[in-house]
Amino acid sequence: MNPSSTKRGLQRRLELTRITALTSCLLGMLLPSAGAVDEGAAARELSNFKAWLEREHPGYGCDEGPAAFQNQTVEAAYGGRRFYYVLTYTRGIPSPFKNSLSMVVQVSEDAEVRPVDSSSPASLQPGLMRVTSVSSAQRAAAAVLILAMGDPGERRWRFSESLISIRKTRKGWVCRYQHGDESHTSQVTFDKSGKLSGIQCNPPPVP
């Protein structure tokens, strides 16, 4: 093989490698990453939520929020969905806030704020993973209960997936979580197609 020909071929390959690397670098600079797009959308949604709160609940008070509802179980079960919240801690004495407020919401692309109804399967179903097994039923049920309780930090009750008991029936899946004793049990059900069909929250009262 001609040494000069081999050298020219190597130089061409090196030049092509440099051009490819430069092109990738320029595209990376010009095109925003998915993470940057998500962060921008989340910032706009939180801003819209804050404005909605000021308009719909003037003078409200809370212990946490307005903020993004950050919880690993919820994020795993509702892949791609974002929630926002305000939370007033449950107390055995009157709230220190004149207009105390607790709620979880989703914010649409057109800035519509949609509060989550903790007793409504239709409100909690959009974006929720489909239940097909015991493990998916545990994850989905835990996420639904966390949203229903409105506390991403799970301060009172830790809804570990392994603590959700599952019973498979002809109609679907029955998922139960005991809040310390049998008389205070919350239940989440999914129909045979794997969609959320019912939710009952029954935690004990705050002493």
The residue extents of the domains of the chain are 47-200
d(CA 96, CA 153): 21
d(CA 146, CA 143): 5
What counts of helices (H) and strands (E) characterise the chain? 5, 8
d(CA 113, CA 126): 15
- Is 114:166 a contact under the CB 8 Å cutoff? no
The dihedral sign for the CA sequence 70, 74, 76, 81 = negative
Q: What is the pLDDT of residues 76-121, one digit of tens each?
A: 999 989 999 999 998 777 777 888 999 999 998 888 999 999 889 9
pLDDT on residue 207: 66
- For tokens 């969905």, the residue is 81
Q: How long is the chain?
A: 207
Q: What is the pLDDT of residues 143-159, one digit of tens each?
A: 999 999 999 999 988 99
pLDDT on residue 19: 54
pLDDT on residue 191: 97
pLDDT on residue 7: 52
Closest among 158, 70, 59, 39 to 101, alpha carbons compared = 59
pLDDT on residue 31: 45
